Structure 1
Amino acid sequence: MKKITLLFVALITLVLSACSMESPFLENAKEDTAGGNASFKIGFSISTLNNPFFVTLSEGAKANAQEKGAEISIVDAQDDASKQASDVEDLIQQGVDMILINPVDSSAVGSAVESANAAGIPVITVDRSTEGGEVVSHIASDNVAGGVLAGEYLLELAGEGAKVAMLEGTAGSSAARDRGEGFLKAVDGKVDLVSSLTANFDRGEGLTVMENMLQANPEIQAVFAQNDEMALGALEAIEASGKDITVIGFDATDDAVAKVEEGKMAATVAQKPEEIGKAAIETAVAYLNGETVEEFVPVDLELVK
C-alpha cells in the first residue's frame, strides 16, 4: 500500500511539473500569434537588381519585413520575363503566403499572376502593374503624373517649338507606358518630338541610343529619359558630343541627383523607391492579418531640380 501511495505522489508531481513548464515551441508559437506577422512568408519577384532604383526598393522592403517580423525572399528576374515567370512558380512551390511582383513586362507577367491566383496565393504588384490575373493591391507612384511633371519642366526650360527626344523604357512595362503618356500629355503640340526610341531602362543602351539620335538629329535641344539610368547614359553621349542639351530623368537615384546638383542634368522626378518597398510590405502584412487594403496605394513624387 505504501508503494502504491508513493507511486501516486510521484505521478502527481510529474503532471504538475509538466503543466508548469512551457516548451520553446509553445513559447515561440505564442510570440508568433501575439506578433501576428512572424510566420508570414513573403516572396518578392523583382524585375532587376542591376538598377539602383530597384536595389533601394528591395532594401526598403527587406527593412520593413524585418521590422514586421515577416520572412521575405527576394528573387532577381534579371530583366527577363521568362525567368520571372519561373521565379514566381518557384515561390508558389515554396508555399509563400504572399507574392509581390515588380514586373519585367506588364503583359507577359499576367500568366504568372494567374498561376499564383490558381494556387490561392494573393499577389501585390509593385511599381509596375500587370495586365492579367487578379491582384489585391498595386503599390506605385503615379507615373503619368510624373511624366507630366517632367514634360512641363522641359517645356519651361526649352520653350515651345524646341526639338525634343525621348528615351523610352522597356516595351510592355506599365512604367514606360505611363511615363510616356504623361510626358506627351504635357508637351503635345508644343514641341517638335524628333525622336522617341527605347533604351530598356539601361544606362549602356541609353548611351548608344542617344549617340544614334544625335547623329540622325543633331539639332536636338532637350531630352526626357523615362528613368535615370537612361538619362545618365544619354548625358555621357551628349557630353562626348560637346553639345549643350537639357536632360530630365526619372527616379531620383543618387547618381542622377548628384548630376542635377552639379548642374549637368536639369532635373529628375523623385519616385522614392525605399518608400514604395516599405509600403508594399505594409500592405502585404495588413492583408495577411485580415485587414482591408486599398486597390491602389500611391507613393508621393516630386521634381528634383
Structure 2
Amino acid sequence: MTRHHRLAGEPAGRRAALTGTVRRLIAVGIAALVAATLTGCAVTIGNPGSANIVHREKKDMYNVAFIARAQADSFAAWLANEMKAEAGKYPDLSLRVFDGQADDEVENRMIENAITNRYDAIIIQANNAEAQRPYIEQAVRAGIVTITTNPRVEGIPGANSVDANPYDQGGVVAKYALGLVPKNAKAVVLNGPPGNFHSTERRKAWQQEFFDRRPDVKIVAEDTAHWNKDEALDLMEDWILAHPTIDAIVAMNDNMAAGALEAGKGKSMLAFGVDGTPEAALLIKAGTMTATSLQNAQELAQLNIRAAHDLLTSVKKEVNADIGNPLITKKNAQQYIDMYIKAGLIEQ
C-alpha cells in the first residue's frame, strides 16, 4: 500500500498489511442489505416458464431479489453494494440482497423463499451452479424473471445471464505471466469452489495458456481456498513450510492471492489473480502483487439491473451479456486506483 492511499474504512496508522480491509470496506452496510423477503406478484401472459414470455403486467414497483454468493468474498460484497446502488437509479425497482454465505443449502433456501414470495425478478450468483440449477429452473417455471450472474448457469431455457468470460479472465493474466515467471520456477495454485464455472474455466485457461507452454514450471502445491482470503493464508503457511522455495502464486481470484501474499510476507514471489479488486490494485501499484484482470462489479451491476428492468417491462424478452476483462499491471494500476477512489472504495 502506498503512503497516500488506503482502502476505505481502514484506520489511519494501521499496519501496511491489507489483511481484511477489503472485506471491511466493501462489506460496509452489507448487513443492512440482507433483509427479509418482500412479497410481490408477477403476472404473465402466456405459458409461465417459457422463454417467449414478454408481456407482463405494468407495475408501479417491481420487487427484485439478488441472491449473493457470500459477503465474506470481497468481490461478491462489492457486487452486492453496486447492485444496490444501481437499483436506486430506477424509481420502479426495489432490490433486496440476500447473503448465501457460500453455502449451497442456504442459497437454495433463499431462492425458494424468493419464489414463494413471488418476487418479480430473481438475480442469482450461484455458489455451485449444479447445486443451484434445480432451484433456478423452479424460478423460471414459476414465470419469474430469472438472471444468473457471476457465474452464468448454462443450459436453462427461459433463464437469462450477465457474466464475464472466465477463460479470458484467466487467460489474459496467464499469457502475461509467460514472460515473467523464471525458468524452472516452483508455483502454487489456489482454486475457487469445486464445480464453480469461473474457477474451473480460469484454471483451464492457466493450464492451456501457461503451464502447457511452460513445462519447466513445476506446481509444488495446489488446493481450493473457496475464494476465501483466510483459507488461502492458512494453505500458504503450510506450503511455505513444506516448500522453502516458491516463485509464483497462481490464484483464481485476488482474494486468495492476497491471503497467500500475507502468509509469504517478506518473500520474493510473483502473484497473479483475477477480479481487479481495490486491494489488488493497491498491491500491484506497491509492487507486491504482479497482475490481475478486472472483473468490474460496477459494470456487472449496471448490466444486471438494466436486464432485470428491460425484461420486467417487456423491452427485451431475453438477455445474455458479457463484460470485458482488461489486464491490470503496475503500468496501469493507478487508473484503477483512481476509479476506486472515485467510487469511494479507496480513500486518499
Give the TM-score range, shorter chain. 0.7 to 0.9
- 1:11-44 per-residue CA deviation (whole Å, 9 max, x = no partner) reads xxxxxxxxxxxxxxxxxxxxxxxxx674211111
Cα RMSD (Å): 1.8
> 58, 61, 65: which is aligned to 2:83?
61
1:45–1:75 CA contact under 8 A, matched in 2:
yes
Superposition pairs of residues 13-32 of structure 1, within 5 angstroms = none
SS at 2:88 equivalent: helix
- 1:252-273 per-residue CA deviation (whole Å, 9 max, x = no partner) reads 1111111111111111211111
1:110–1:132 CA contact under 8 A, matched in 2:
no
1:128–1:175 CA contact under 8 A, matched in 2:
yes
> 294, 302, 305: which is aligned to 1:270?
294
Deviation at 1:210, TM superposition (A): 1.3
Q: Which residue of 1 aligns with 2:222?
A: 196
- 1:148-188 per-residue CA deviation (whole Å, 9 max, x = no partner) reads 11111222211454322210011121111111111112113
- Structure 1 Cα separation of the partners of residues 181 and 302 of structure 2: 37
Deviation at 1:60, TM superposition (A): 1.9
TM-score (ref. length: structure 1):
0.83
Q: Which residue of 2 aligns with 1:235?
A: 261
Structure 1: tracts of 5 or more residues without a match: 1-35
Superposition pairs of residues 248-287 of structure 1, within 5 angstroms = 248-287=272-311
The structure in which a higher percent of residues are helix is 1
Deviates more, 1:79-88 or 1:152-161: 152-161
- Structure 2 Cα separation of the partners of residues 147 and 296 of structure 1: 21
Q: Which amino acid aligns with 2:187?
A: V
Alignment of 1:218 onto 2:241: no
Deviation at 1:292, TM superposition (A): 2.9
Alignment of 1:40 onto 2:62: yes
1:127–1:141 CA contact under 8 A, matched in 2:
yes
Superposition pairs of residues 85-164 of structure 1, within 5 angstroms = 85-130=108-153, 133-164=156-187
- 1:59-101 per-residue CA deviation (whole Å, 9 max, x = no partner) reads 2222221212201111111111100011011111211111100
TM-score (ref. length: structure 2):
0.73
Q: Which residue of 1 aligns with 2:314?
A: 290
Identity %: 27
SS at 1:165 equivalent: strand
Q: 1:37 to 1:148 in 2, by over 3 A?
A: farther
> 53, 66, 72: which is aligned to 1:50?
72
Q: 1:260 to 1:38 in 2, by over 3 A?
A: farther
Which has the larger Rg?
A: 1
Q: Which residue of 2 aligns with 1:24?
A: none
Structure 2: tracts of 5 or more residues without a match: 1-57, 330-348
Q: How many residue pairs get matched?
A: 268
- Structure 1 Cα separation of the partners of residues 238 and 175 of structure 2: 26
2:237–2:263 CA contact under 8 A, matched in 1:
yes
SS at 2:324 equivalent: coil
- Structure 2 Cα separation of the partners of residues 169 and 221 of structure 1: 21
2:227–2:253 CA contact under 8 A, matched in 1:
yes
Q: Which amino acid aligns with 1:220?
A: I
